[in-house]
């Protein structure tokens, strides 16, 4: 079966070297097998994701020589589509309104998931219709999805077996926020399925979202793509790269390095090249092999960025 891969950035800041690494590996994985490659802009949270940053992300990818096959999807334009699938889940009787504030959720439990969200303690899981009507008067609820008493396991093609016992490791999760915006978990599942994506390559900070996404695929009768998570990049001082910190973006890097030098730094740091040297995209497509992609997080050596 031919591969359809994708890169799906959230343009809440400029892409940093870690995001570019993820785009590169997703791209190489698809293109090295003559596959299709799609771009999706995950700008559901419109105020945090201005179109200027989406344009910048596309320009950064193009600068590196990463190309995509169809007009990119913008999630901000697709709420009607998400609504249809939301309704489908609602009909299955699995949603309930949740009136908890962010502060209440923080107070209830310390975060204990990899993605820094707390397992929901079930505060609103069994409200009576009367209680719901009363609470509706003062607060618009988020909509939460009940998880089954079940373990969902899958084999990540890079990290191997990963499983979560949903009630304990995950908990009921939000699929529509109180401001009406559909949650990432729903949008990503709908979009990957409708675009025919059959290979998802992304940072391992999202590994723990995958069982939730597989559960949603089951409810919506979508097939499950192959998942391959990749390690994260840390700055030379051991910080996880973040869009907020504005470090290691292409404006700064391209002042000091050529395009092929940047590709070489990325390829070397993830294990695709045995030494740090310039590399053209065509060469990387030719030599790409998942066997060489590291699994442990990567701290960029200080020297690598001093040129
Ligand atoms: N939009 C997510 C991010 O930028 C990635 C989602 C995904 O690849 O599934 O972190």
45-99 tens-digit pLDDT = 999 999 999 999 999 999 999 999 999 999 999 999 999 999 999 999 999 999 9
Per-residue pLDDT of 223-281, as tens digits, reads 999 999 999 999 888 888 876 655 678 988 898 899 999 999 999 999 999 999 999 99
What number does the ligand 1 atom closest to the CA of 205 have? Answer: 10
Assigned token pair, 101: 């504030």
Assigned token pair, 263: 């590709």
* pLDDT (mean) for 19-28: 97
242 torsion bin: left (phi>0), alpha (psi -120 to 50), beta (else): beta
What number does the ligand 1 atom closest to the CA of 19 have? Answer: 4
Could you tell me if 20 and 264 are in contact, meaning their C-beta atoms sit under 8 angstroms apart? no
Q: Is 172 in the pocket of ligand 1 (CB under 6 A)?
A: no
Ligand 1 centroid to Cα of residue 88, in Å, is 24
Ligand 1 centroid to Cα of residue 175, in Å, is 16
Q: Is 10 in the pocket of ligand 1 (CB under 6 A)?
A: yes
Q: Which DSSP category does 168 fall into?
A: I
Question: What is the pTM (predicted TM-score) of this model?
Answer: 0.94
Distance between CA atoms of 134 and 214, rounded to whole angstroms? 34
Where residue 138 falls among pLDDT bands split at 50, 70, 90? Answer: very high
Residue nearest to atom 7 of ligand 1 (CA): 8
* pLDDT (mean) for 168-185: 96
Where residue 198 falls among pLDDT bands split at 50, 70, 90? Answer: very high
Ligand 1 centroid to Cα of residue 8, in Å, is 5
Helix (H) or strand (E) holding 102: helix 102-108
Q: Is 202 in the pocket of ligand 1 (CB under 6 A)?
A: yes
Q: What is the mean pLDDT of the chain?
A: 93
Residue nearest to atom 6 of ligand 1 (CA): 8
What number does the ligand 1 atom closest to the CA of 6 have? Answer: 8
In this predicted structure, what is the pLDDT of residue 75?
98
Q: Is 53 in the pocket of ligand 1 (CB under 6 A)?
A: no
Assigned token pair, 112: 């204990």
21-30, 99-108, 170-179, range with the lowest pLDDT: 99-108
Kindly state the percentage of the chain with pLDDT values over 70: 93
Ligand 1 centroid to Cα of residue 18, in Å, is 12
């Amino acid at each position: 079966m031919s591969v359809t891969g994708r890169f799906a950035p959230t343009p809440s800041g400029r892409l940093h070297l870690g995001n570019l690494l993820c785009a590169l590996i997703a791209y190489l994985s698809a293109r090295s097998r003559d596959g299709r490659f799609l771009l999706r802009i995950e700008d559901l949270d419109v105020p945090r994701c201005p179109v200027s940053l989406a344009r910048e992300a596309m320009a950064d990818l193009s600068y590196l020589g990463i190309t995509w096959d169809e007009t990119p999807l913008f999630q901000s334009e697709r709420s009607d589509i998400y609504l249809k699938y939301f309704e489908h889940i609602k009909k299955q009787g699995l949603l309930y309104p949740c009136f908890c504030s962010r502060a209440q959720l923080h107070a209830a439990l310390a975060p204990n998931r990899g993605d820094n969200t707390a397992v929901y303690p079930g505060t609103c899981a069994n409200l009576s219709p009367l209680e719901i009507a009363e609470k509706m008067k003062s607060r618009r609820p988020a909509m939460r999805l009940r998880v089954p008493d079940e373990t969902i396991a899958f084999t990540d093609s890079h990290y191997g077996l990963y499983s979560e016992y949903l009630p304990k490791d995950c908990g009921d999760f939000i699929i529509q926020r109180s401001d009406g915006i559909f949650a990432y978990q729903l949008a990503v599942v709908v979009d990957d399925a409708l675009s025919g994506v059959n290979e998802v390559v992304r940072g391992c900070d999202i590994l723990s979202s995958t069982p939730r996404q597989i559960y949603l695929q089951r409810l919506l009768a979508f097939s499950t793509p192959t998942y391959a998570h990749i390690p994260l990049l840390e700055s030379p001082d051991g910080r996880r790269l973040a869009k907020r910190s504005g470090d290691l973006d292409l404006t700064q890097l391209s002042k000091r390095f050529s395009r092929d030098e940047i590709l070489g730094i990325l390829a070397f740091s993830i294990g695709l090249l045995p030494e740090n040297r310039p590399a053209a995209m065509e060469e990387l497509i030719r030599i790409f092999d998942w066997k060489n992609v590291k699994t442990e997080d990567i701290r960029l050596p200080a020297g690598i960025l001093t040129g």
